[in-house]
């Protein structure tokens, strides 16, 4: 499946690492159990799918769908009629604005055929239930494109630089006090430049800031 279009630098929602949310739906004795987790890439998603298949080895179907922050998406109907299972689950993940997540919906067959429309509704409902459970449990977090800035400064400027950081919308993630002070600051992408300029002005033109590479993180 072709990568999805995601605006460059756009934030996204994901599950916190280590969290798993589940949701269930039942129709005419067929049980649909959705299991939703954070993944760091396709290898993690494939490993989770294998884990779910082992967990529910007696189930008729284990339908996977995952979407990653780099735009890569995958889904499979795992033996269900084409586009009645994997795609509906993927659409739920897309609709919720989630990325770096994998959802596997396990189906225990109840003995009655549900038809294409019934399958789409059931897989959709199970995935929606898992997403809702993740939200209710506080497992969903927002990832923002951030830029780390390290500031090496004399003690005399410490309080003023902290205030400049806060005024620019940043936060101090760590501080190291030795012969001088090292502040590890984090800013939303684009907000680090005014801070660095303000620190340079405060230090009479001396460049005290080291700007790192942008990355996605909770902010």
Structure tokens at 157: 């400027």
What angle do the packed helices 86-95 and 115-136 form, to 10 degrees?
A: 40
Domains by residue range for the chain, with CATH: 12-138 (3.30.230.30), 144-218 (3.30.70.260)
Beta bridge partners of 24: 33
**Which residues, at least 6 apart from 110, have a Cβ–Cβ distance to it below 8 Å?**
26, 27, 28, 29, 30, 31
What angle do the packed helices 158-167 and 192-202 form, to 10 degrees?
A: 150
What pLDDT score was predicted for residue 112? 86
Reading the chain (219 residues) residue by residue, the pLDDT tens digits are 444 454 555 689 999 989 999 999 999 999 999 999 999 999 999 999 999 999 999 999 999 999 999 899 999 999 999 999 999 999 999 999 999 999 999 999 988 889 999 999 999 999 999 999 999 999 999 999 999 999 999 999 999 999 999 999 999 999 999 999 999 999 999 999 999 999 999 999 999 999 999 999 888
Indicate the SS3 state at residue 40.
Answer: coil
Alpha-carbon separation of residue 73 from 88, 126, 135, 152 (angstroms): 13, 19, 22, 42
What pLDDT score was predicted for residue 4? 47
Beta bridge partners of 151: 183, 209
What pLDDT score was predicted for residue 11? 83
What pLDDT score was predicted for residue 2? 40
C-alpha radius of gyration, the chain, whole number = 23
Phi, psi at residue 178, to the nearest 5°?
-135, -130
State the alpha helices, DSSP H only, in 104-205: 115-136, 158-167, 192-202
């Amino acid at each position: 499946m072709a990568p999805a279009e995601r605006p460059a630098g756009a934030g996204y929602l994901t599950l916190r690492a280590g969290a798993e949310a589940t949701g269930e739906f039942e129709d005419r004795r067929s049980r649909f159990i959705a299991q939703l987790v954070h993944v760091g890439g396709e290898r993690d998603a494939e490993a989770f799918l294998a884990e779910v298949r082992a967990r529910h080895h007696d189930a008729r179907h284990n339908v996977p769908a995952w979407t990653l922050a780099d735009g890569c998406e995958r889904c499979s109907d795992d033996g269900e009629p084409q586009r009645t299972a994997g795609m509906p689950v993927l659409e739920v993940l897309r609709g919720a604005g989630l990325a770096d997540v994998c959802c596997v919906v396990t189906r225990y067959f109840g003995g009655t055929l549900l038809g294409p429309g019934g399958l789409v509704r059931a897989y959709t409902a199970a995935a929606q239930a898992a997403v809702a459970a993740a939200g209710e449990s506080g497992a969903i977090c927002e990832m923002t494109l951030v830029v780390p800035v390290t500031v090496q400064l004399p003690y005399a400027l410490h309080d003023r630089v902290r205030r400049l950081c806060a005024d620019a919308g940043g936060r101090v993630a760590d501080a190291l006090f030795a012969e001088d002070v090292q502040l590890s600051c984090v800013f939303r992408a684009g907000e680090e430049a005014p801070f660095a300029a303000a620190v340079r002005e405060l230090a009479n033109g001396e460049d005290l800031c080291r700007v790192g590479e942008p990355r996605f993180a909770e902010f």
